[in-house]
């Protein structure tokens, strides 16, 4: 059998591989480019960029939990101007597509970042992080409300003609409602899931461990939740899904695809193994050869359609 075809179309972005680097853990990519070859990636999703610099949360910002990682980095970033002048130029020859994640505290801030990034040389798409607190709604995250989701996505959509991904928050009552709101407002694809809200307590001091008290949980601990949400979203919307949440093995990659993801992203997994991306890709190819699947697109949502025929 010839080598399986790993190419996917993610909302207009044609990617050479369905395995992406999720926004956050890899920062702006400079450090990890010295550790692994970015051409192994379908795309690199850059850490969140806001219109003005964000300072981030007080230390400590990290706590390891059972098969998971709590973080409260607080979307620290140098802001749009500095990203465009200092970080983006270094990414132009990174060997893969670049998707920039955008964050904001108001609808206007999101729109301003999108407008500032639209059409910039070296950017192939945008991903909107709608898990940020909405300053004008008492700090409730945009992504927990269909109307707020619709407003943010609609405002960003107006500012860009680039492929637009919307990254959903799992801290919601019904992921399908939010997924539909994002699709209706013009998203080309959905990324899910962002981290789950959580906390831990230092039993020596008797106080919350994280400087920010609450953090976002990532890592293998959240994978079954992510998988369920990808399954649900794939039943609700027509646009492609980028599945993520605790991927550390190629079996995890396959599960997300069977649940309905067209492509996947790895985040926290890079911390456990800096060479994880090529390991996942190799494992996926092996699986496809074994199952005689020639195009990775054929794996998508197979679990919704009764899985493999026969005893396979």
* Positions that interact with other proteins (CB under 8 A): 24-32, 34-35, 55-64, 66-67, 69, 71, 73, 76, 211, 219-220, 248, 268-275
Give the nearest distance from C-beta 80 to other proteins in angstroms.
17
Closer to other proteins by CB, 34 or 238: give it: 34
Give the nearest distance from C-beta 4 to other proteins in angstroms.
27
Q: Assess whether 94 carries a catalytic annotation.
A: no
Closer to other proteins by CB, 277 or 303: give it: 277
Give the nearest distance from C-beta 266 to other proteins in angstroms.
12
Closer to other proteins by CB, 240 or 246: give it: 246
Residue with tokens 């080598």: 3
**Is 268:218 a contact under the CB 8 Å cutoff?**
yes
Structure tokens at 266: 């790895």
Closer to other proteins by CB, 12 or 60: give it: 60
Structure tokens at 52: 């003005």
Q: Is the omega angle on the peptide bond into residue 60 within 30 degrees of 0, that is, cis?
A: yes
**Is 168:158 a contact under the CB 8 Å cutoff?**
no
Give the nearest distance from C-beta 196 to other proteins in angstroms.
17
What's the CA gap between 195 and 161, in Å, rounded?
A: 28
Give the nearest distance from C-beta 19 to other proteins in angstroms.
18
Alpha carbon 151 to its chain's center: 20
DSSP 16-61: S-SEEEPTTTTTTSHHHHTTS-GGGSSEEEEEEE-SS-B--PPSP-
Give the nearest distance from C-beta 193 to other proteins in angstroms.
18
- Of 132, 148, 210, 226, the active-site residue reads 132
Q: Closest Cα partner for 113 from 100, 124, 122, 132? A: 100
Report the b/e string of 54-88 with b at 16+ CB within 10 A: beebeeebebeeeebbbbbbebebbebeebbeebb
**Which residues sit opposite 44 in a β-bridge?**
21, 98
- Which 8-state DSSP code applies to residue 205? T
Closer to other proteins by CB, 55 or 311: give it: 55
Structure tokens at 63: 């706590």
Closer to other proteins by CB, 154 or 208: give it: 208
Query: Which residues are tagged catalytic?
Result: 132
């Amino acid at each position: 059998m010839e080598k399986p075809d790993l190419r996917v179309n993610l909302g207009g972005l044609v990617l050479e591989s369905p395995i992406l680097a999720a926004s956050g853990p890899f920062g702006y990519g400079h450090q990890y480019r010295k550790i692994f070859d970015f051409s192994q990636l379908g795309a690199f999703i850059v850490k969140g960029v806001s219109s003005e610099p964000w300072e981030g949360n007080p230390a400590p910002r990290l706590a390891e939990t059972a098969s998971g990682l709590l973080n409260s980095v607080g979307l620290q970033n140098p802001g749009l101007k500095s990203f465009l002048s200092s970080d983006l130029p270094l990414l132009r020859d990174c060997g893969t597509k670049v998707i920039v994640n955008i964050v904001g505290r108001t609808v206007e801030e999101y729109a301003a970042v999108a407008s500032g990034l639209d059409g910039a040389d070296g950017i192939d798409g945008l991903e909107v992080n709608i898990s940020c607190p909405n300053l004008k709604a008492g700090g409730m995250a945009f992504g927990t409300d269909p109307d707020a989701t619709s407003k943010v996505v609609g405002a960003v959509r107006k500012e860009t003609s680039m492929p637009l991904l919307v990254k959903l928050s799992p801290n919601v009552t019904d992921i399908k409602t939010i997924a539909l709101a994002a699709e209706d407002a013009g998203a080309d694809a959905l990324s899910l899931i962002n981290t789950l809200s959580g906390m831990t307590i230092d039993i020596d001091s008797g106080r919350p461990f994280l400087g920010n008290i609450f953090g976002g949980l990532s890592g293998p601990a959240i994978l079954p939740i992510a998988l369920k949400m990808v399954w649900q979203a794939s039943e609700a919307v027509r646009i492609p899904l980028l599945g993520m949440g605790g991927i550390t093995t190629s079996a995890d990659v396959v599960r997300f695809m069977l649940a309905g993801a067209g492509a996947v992203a790895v985040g926290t997994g890079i911390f456990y193994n800096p060479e994880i991306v090529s390991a996942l890709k190799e494992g996926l190819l092996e699986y496809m050869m074994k199952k005689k699947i020639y195009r990775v697109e054929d794996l998508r949502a197979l679990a919704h359609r009764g899985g493999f025929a026969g005893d396979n």
